[in-house]
Amino acid sequence: MQCVKEAEKPLYGGGILKEAEAASAGGKKLLAEKSKSAPGKDCTLKVELKKDHHYALSAWLQLSKGTGDIRAVLVTPDGKFNTAGVIVAQSGCWTMLKGGATSYAAGKGELFFETNVTAEVMADGMALQPFSFEEWDGHRKEIITKERKKKVKITVQDAGGKALEGAEVTLQRVGKGFPLGNAMTKEILDKPEYEKWFAARFKVATLENEMKWYSTEYHQNEEDYRVADKMVELAEKYNISLRGHNVFWDDQTAQMKWVSSLSVPQLKEAMAKRLKNVVSRYAGKLIHWDVVNENLHFNFFEGKLGDDASGQIFNDVAKLDSKPILFMNEFNTIEQPNDPAPLPTKYLAKLKKIRSFPGNGDLKYGIGLESHFATPNIPYMRGSLDTLAQAKVPIWLTEVDVTKGPKQVEYLEEVMREGYAHPAVKGLVLWGAWHANGCYVMCLTDNNFKNLPVGDVVDKLLHEWRAAPDAAKTDAKGVFEAEVFHGEYNATIKHSSLKEPLVQTVDLDSCAEATIKATSPKSGY
């Protein structure tokens, strides 16, 4: 995240780059001049790659002069040039690149770096570490156990405080825990089967389009929040938390003819009205706001109002509603390393600028990553999340989908598992909203709300990540111990002394112990 004077030692002891002298103490000159193609042989590190392995890459990089982008490329034995990561680097100090790529073939490979400016690239502390798919998945499971689960102790007693030995305990998660949600569309208001399907699965939702400015005021001074209001009411009915999406969207706002034609004073007036009406209207009802959507790719507001426009908008939203976490929301930050606009280092620089705006230092921030994938580069995704985690604010994958193709289901599962396993990721929302005329990219169900294969894999993961003990027995001290996912649970207790099963809600999200007292034994109290 920061440019440092001294490069740190390589991770994994350099991994397979030891033989390539990748970690030379004084730095290694890798590229003599500006180049957008593979440099000469003397600038390329030769490596031996294994089949079906993920490769985690890390390196401290700097330029001999100026500032520019540095791209790491791993050429795999099948001849593919895989972008393993890109950072913004400068002269005089070291910046860390984290990323990687996957090799599906065994044999000779190459690693090289290139820049978009005329300067020498220097590298130090480099590492390229192989992981079999099984090892990578094993690491995920270790992190899930550490970050998403906890060891809990439930004590079951009778009304007098005496231990109930042999009581049967069944847990069913009903709330809290890791938030996993989905986008919803206005069709849910007229489709009871859609409503039933959605509410049975998700405790977090984003209105796909219905809160956006072009949905509530497509024509100037003709505001209509009726649809959005009804969708908010439906979410409240099922205790579904809502993300506000969005206050402003650079790209789409520019396409609203009446907005794009306004003078600067008129634009400020229209924006103030929009801010007041949408943020105040839903104050206290939303957990998040996507404040300025995709403002790394587009710059309508900053082009009109100056470089501090985003910072000012964040400030204005917080004044109207201090409860929600405020997000930048971007695409291709973790999906596509070849898109230079939203690189993790550029995302962090933009967030830093917004935080530096007067009065913004203590606001509640979040990192929103849309996560629209084609073919995911899982090592790059993990490395990018590691980089973004240095901001120490909650990260959410906000619009997760995978384009159609023979491996859509497989890729979606990989992306969801990778996000769920990263400690800095605090929630995940799918972009699989149902439309009668076809989904945006990814449908979870058919038009009869029967799961498609994509929906089946989502249900599989929901079941896996909400799994809980069933019909376990308490010991002689009335104690039941287990490792469970964080969350709020209904604990059902059965015992020969009880007339009927006892159900009590226990909070195993913030607490690790709970005592349940049976209050309806056969003796009648």
Catalytic residue among 210, 217, 294, 330: 294
d(CA 292, CA 301): 9
Residue burial 10-26, b: 16+ Cβ < 10 Å; e: rest = bbeebbbbeebebbeee
Which of 168, 399, 414, 418 is the catalytic position? 399
Sequence letter at residue 289: W
The residues near 317 (Cβ < 8 Å, ≥ 6 apart) are 247, 275, 279, 289, 291, 324, 326
Torsion of CA 424, 426, 427, 428, to 10 degrees: 10
294 tagged catalytic: yes
Structure tokens given for 269: 């007036």
Using DSSP, state whether 402 is helix, strand or coil: strand
CA distances from residue 296 to 97, 279, 302, 358, 376 in whole angstroms, order as listed: 20, 23, 11, 21, 21
Q: Residue 292 pairs with which residues in a beta bridge?
A: 248, 328
What 3-state DSSP class applies to 399? strand
CB 38 within 8 A of CB 73: yes
Biggest alpha carbon–alpha carbon distance for the chain:
88
Cα gap 178→232, rounded to integer Å:
21
Catalytic residues: 294, 399
